[in-house]
Chain A
Amino acid sequence: MINPWRLAALGLGFLALFVMLTVRLWFLQVAAVEENVEKASANQIQIVYQQPARGEIRDINGTVLAGSRPSQTLQLDRAAVTLEQEEELVQKLSVLLSVEQSEIRNLINSARSGTVVTLARDISDEVAFEIQEFKEDYPGVDVALIPVRTYPFGTLAAHTLGYTGRATEADLERYGDRVKTDEVFGRAGVERQYDNVLRGTQGAEVFTVSADRSVMQFTEEVSPQPGWNVVMTIDLEVSQILKQALLDAVVLSEALGESPTGKAAGLVLDATDGSIVAMESIPDYNPNAFVGSLSAEEFEVIQENNALLNLNVRGTFAPGSTFKVVPYVVAVEEDVWPEGLDGPDDGKELLPRLEFPSFGEGSPQVFTDWNPNHGWTDLHGALEKSADVYFWEVALGVWEDNSLDESIIQNWARDLGYGAPTGIDLPGEAAGIMPDREWRERLHEQNPVAFPNGEWYGGDLMNTVIGQGDLASTPLQMAVSYAALVNGGTVWRPRVVDHFVDNDGNVVDRREPAAVRKVDIAEETVQMLREDLAGVVRRGTAAAVFANSPYRLAIGGKTGTAQIGAFDDDVDTAWFTGVAPIVSPKYIVVIVVEEGGGGSAVAAPAVRTVLEYLLDPATAPRRNPEIEAAAG
């Protein structure tokens, strides 16, 4: 069949090839291993990593909110100069740049020896000219055009965008030699959350270097892959309106004789898919400030004001009456009603006060409604007029009905998104607090000194249902829960990023809307709640604010005025949550003004401006005329 000698020849030939490979492998890995180690240590091949261009961050319409601009940067290659030369350079550069010698020295010392240090950014053309003209006077110094992060709209959407900064110790540990001094890392917001995506992939330049470390050959090998551009769900126009509304609300609050802390937060959530249309927080900061070297004082000012904090996701506040929609839904869905009532349309004359059993040491506690004259009230009226007593009686019903879980209201609230991070794609989200017996006992067990009270009383539940006491919510949680209540039960995982685009404009990835869970609420209940939220705007606590709004019939909402501290009734945090269009809700707008006063007086006008703009961007006023007048 096959001639034996031919087969033998083939077998030997194949064997020879395998033997050659093995011998070569032996040579590389065993015989020449010392030579290889030497080769490696002599660094015959040196790799210099190249930074890819950082991706842009854009708003939903494609407007660039974070991009890059070239900056004339003064750099010193420490490998090219001796220590004496360095000392000389410090003196010369100090004169040239008119900065303290110590400042330059600190910069140089902050970098590892043998690396390239950035000495100054955005230097003038004159300085650049001087350096390049008299090169020999400035050994190792060069002017490079380095891309620098820029935020064209400054403070607008700053908390959502975040900012970038130089490598920290942790970054150096993670990336080692691959970190260049002028490389930036996302430090907050989207810049941090999507740092991996925005950064792109490093490229590498490869050199062969001889024993004296002079470069013999140089070729670019792997070109850096620019990062993806991030397209947010944020709308710049809406953000502008919202930011102005927040600033105006604080001014209005002051004009009304309140003393707001200056902290306020607001956001617009799309109830149909969980995307954040706008998110603003004050006090704010300008992310451009972090691009250059921020002075210690500047940073301290920012720190002291807590200006870096995105209050929408990191600030927790007592939600006050805006929370009442939760006991509202529990009453209907779990069939718990005030004494003597049976159903949402069944009403009675409300007492101005309610005595609740067992608060503290078993003594009854008397709760007084903020308004003693609610009159005849059913569930609809209770929400419209924000009647505390009605919801206290619902709480009492839960408390006294042994067939019901004592924490049923809190459980509903947790299902709607309170008490745990919503899972938004922004770093550092706060969980808020949804207190109940178990929570109280756990705190006490963990730290009996700080939390001496390990008991849970009926009074605690009373406080909880009207959004007071230990209950704390972020504005984002508030928005997510309202979205779920009016959209039929879908609790969205909110998102600020919609998709990613490469440099050729191709959509490379998407963040699809994602629901955390679906809460089971009857359609009639949802419908009823929408009507009653509309009632708040038409005849309830927010009626005065919306009285002359051409859009009042399309808007629903709920006011909230949360008392800060049990004994000081004068300090209130103002909330308003608006929903529009109320027949098929799309936008949820939440605004909170810390210690700003009444929710209807301070927060509602701000929400009105934003909602009107959302409903009719073409003709609606971009500022509320009343607020504009107050703001001057």
Chain B
Amino acid sequence: MTSAVIRGRGLTASAYEARRPDFILTGALMLLGVLSVLMIYSASAPRAELLGADPAADAQKQAVIVFVGLVVYGVGSLIEHRTVHTVAPVMYVGAVGALMAVLLWGSEVNNAVSWFSVFGFQFQPSEWAKPAVIVMLAALLAPAVENKIEWRRVLTALGLMGVPVALIAAQPDLGTLLVVAVLSAVMLFAAGASIRQLSLLLGSGGLITWFAYNQGWLRLVEERIDAWLNPEQNALALAFQPLQSQIAIGSGGFSGRGLFEGTQTNLAFIPEQTTDFIFTAVGEQLGFIGGTLVIGIYAVIVWRLLRTAAAAEDRFGMLVAIGVASMLTFHVFVNVGMTLGIMPVTGIPLPFLSAGGSSFTAMAFALGLTHSIWLYRSKVPARRPTIG
């Protein structure tokens, strides 16, 4: 009996023993961090110089953010995902609370209330809401069985998603709302929702959107989409950024104008260039080669995340990895797509490249959690599904 306990313990210990870290994932993250500081410097320095301010100020700030982000990533990697599993509801309630707080006490920037200051730091709760929703949904859907998810569970998932979505919609922050909706749908799909369930959800989602559109609740969205479809004829207030952005990227050509050589980036007006439109700086200065490289780095990260999902030790881990992968992919697609004119303008940052602390650290934390799932992955190959 004694020996069985010891053996059992030993088994347990070895099953959860940390494995070799994912150097490719970690390396990709660090590469993006370095690129972020460089690009923000190139996009902010000339203007700052013109205004007589410190040209390196924005880049220095970002360097600190990147450093903190990497630390957060490391911390996330060390947290065993079973711990996360148990505290998921706490994280979720905390995130919802922060979203409520920001509506009550937040400050308005660009007609949206999405920020508030904590001890002098700007804090954007919607960035942290995304990982919280992922973790919560993963905890909810982990016990479900492929193709046999009860409707009750699906509706609970919708409800859990709905609360933060409604709070984010009130800010309003269209981009984040879309990301949360999409990642929830993807997680339901990965958890094993049946085709019937998914099509019903999709159908009713479509109906609600159609209704809201007809009620005129989506005027803001309407304008954005109209600007996106008819940029040249449209009021340039809305099409200004994407058009300038496309010209900037287009002028980069195959190999780019060279680092710190972009004229559009440096002198023309691309508002919010260090934040949401950072990809224009990449496109103009580093050209098709640099742009593809950046997209490639994201693809590599997503590949590592899917691999983690496949190797995960339990369904919770798998679902978190899928959630983070879909969040990242959709972020990149919506943001880069917006600068390339194939998506409407929605204010969401490009993960790990855009200036800003909340986005970088929240994303780094999510990535760290997934990395931890990789570190504590199943040791037994038989329990791992094959991929490809």
- Chain A residues at the B interface, C-beta cutoff of 8 Å: 1-4, 6-11, 14-15, 17-18, 20-22, 24-26, 28-30, 32-33, 36-37, 39-40, 44-45, 47, 176, 196-197, 201, 204, 206-208, 217-222
**Cβ contact within 8 Å between A47 and B269:** yes
**Cβ contact within 8 Å between A208 and B295:** no
Q: Which residue of A lies closest to B386 (CB)?
A: A4
**Cβ contact within 8 Å between A14 and B325:** yes
What are 6 contact pairs spanning A and B, CB under 8 A? A3-B192, A7-B309, A9-B189, A18-B295, A29-B254, A29-B291
Q: Note all chain A residues with C-beta closer than 8 A to B251.
A: 36-37, 40
Known contacts A7-B387, A17-B329, A29 near B269 by CB under 8 Å: no
Distance from B285 Cβ to chain A, minimum over Cβ atoms (Å): 12
- Which of B189, B247, B385 has a CB less than 8 Å from the CB of A39? B247
**Cβ contact within 8 Å between A28 and B340:** yes
B322 at the binding interface (Cβ < 8 Å): yes
Known contacts A7-B309, A222-B271, A2 near B318 by CB under 8 Å: yes
* Docked pose: A475 CA to B342 CA in angstroms: 66
**Cβ contact within 8 Å between A201 and B51:** yes
* Docked pose: A222 CA to B47 CA in angstroms: 15
Q: Note all chain A residues with C-beta closer than 8 A to B52.
A: 196-197
* Docked pose: A60 CA to B243 CA in angstroms: 47
- Which of B146, B186, B252 has a CB less than 8 Å from the CB of A3? B146
Q: Note all chain A residues with C-beta closer than 8 A to B309.
A: 2, 7
Distance from B229 Cβ to chain A, minimum over Cβ atoms (Å): 15
B275 at the binding interface (Cβ < 8 Å): no
* Docked pose: A9 CA to B283 CA in angstroms: 30
- Which of B288, B306, B341 has a CB less than 8 Å from the CB of A29? B288
**Cβ contact within 8 Å between A24 and B271:** no
Q: Note all chain A residues with C-beta closer than 8 A to B310.
A: 1-2, 7
**Cβ contact within 8 Å between A10 and B342:** no
Q: A1-B385, A7-B310, A20-B337 are in contact. List 18 more A-B contacts (CB 8 A).
A: A1-B310, A1-B315, A1-B383, A7-B190, A7-B309, A7-B387, A8-B387, A11-B303, A14-B302, A17-B333, A18-B302, A18-B332, A21-B332, A25-B295, A29-B250, A29-B253, A36-B246, A36-B251
B340-383 Cβ-contact flags toward A at 8 Å (1 or 0): 11100000000000000000000000000000000000000001
* Docked pose: A221 CA to B241 CA in angstroms: 10
Distance from B320 Cβ to chain A, minimum over Cβ atoms (Å): 12
- Chain B residues at the A interface, C-beta cutoff of 8 Å: 51-52, 146, 186, 189-190, 192, 232-237, 240, 243-244, 246-247, 249-254, 267-269, 271, 283, 287-288, 291-292, 295, 298-299, 302-303, 306, 309-310, 312, 314-315, 318, 322, 325-326, 329-330, 332-333, 336-337, 340-342, 383-388
Q: Which residue of B lies closest to A175 (CB)?
A: B50
**Cβ contact within 8 Å between A25 and B306:** no
**Cβ contact within 8 Å between B250 and A33:** yes
Q: Note all chain A residues with C-beta closer than 8 A to B333.
A: 17-18, 20-21
* Docked pose: A207 CA to B239 CA in angstroms: 11
* Docked pose: A8 CA to B388 CA in angstroms: 7
Known contacts A29-B252, A217-B233, A10 near B383 by CB under 8 Å: no
Q: Which residue of B lies closest to A201 (CB)?
A: B51
Q: Which residue of B lies closest to A208 (CB)?
A: B232
Q: Note all chain B residues with C-beta closer than 8 A to A20.
A: 333, 337, 342
**Cβ contact within 8 Å between A28 and B315:** no
**Cβ contact within 8 Å between B340 and A219:** no
Q: Note all chain A residues with C-beta closer than 8 A to B246.
A: 28, 36
Distance from A113 Cβ to chain B, minimum over Cβ atoms (Å): 22
Distance from A196 Cβ to chain B, minimum over Cβ atoms (Å): 3
**Cβ contact within 8 Å between B383 and A196:** no
**Cβ contact within 8 Å between B51 and A14:** no
Known contacts A14-B326, A29-B287, A222 near B340 by CB under 8 Å: no
**Cβ contact within 8 Å between B250 and A217:** no
Q: Note all chain B residues with C-beta closer than 8 A to A201.
A: 51
Distance from A210 Cβ to chain B, minimum over Cβ atoms (Å): 10
* Docked pose: A39 CA to B388 CA in angstroms: 44
The 8 lowest CB-CB distance pairs between A and B, nearest first, are A36-B250, A196-B52, A29-B288, A219-B236, A17-B333, A24-B340, A14-B329, A18-B299
- Which of A3, A33, A206, A219 has a CB less than 8 Å from the CB of B253? A33
Q: Note all chain A residues with C-beta closer than 8 A to B330.
A: 17
* Docked pose: A25 CA to B282 CA in angstroms: 11
Known contacts A7-B309, A8-B387, A206-B240, A21 near B247 by CB under 8 Å: no
**Cβ contact within 8 Å between B235 and A25:** no
**Cβ contact within 8 Å between A10 and B236:** no
Q: Note all chain B residues with C-beta closer than 8 A to A25.
A: 249, 283, 288, 291-292, 295, 340
**Cβ contact within 8 Å between B288 and A45:** no
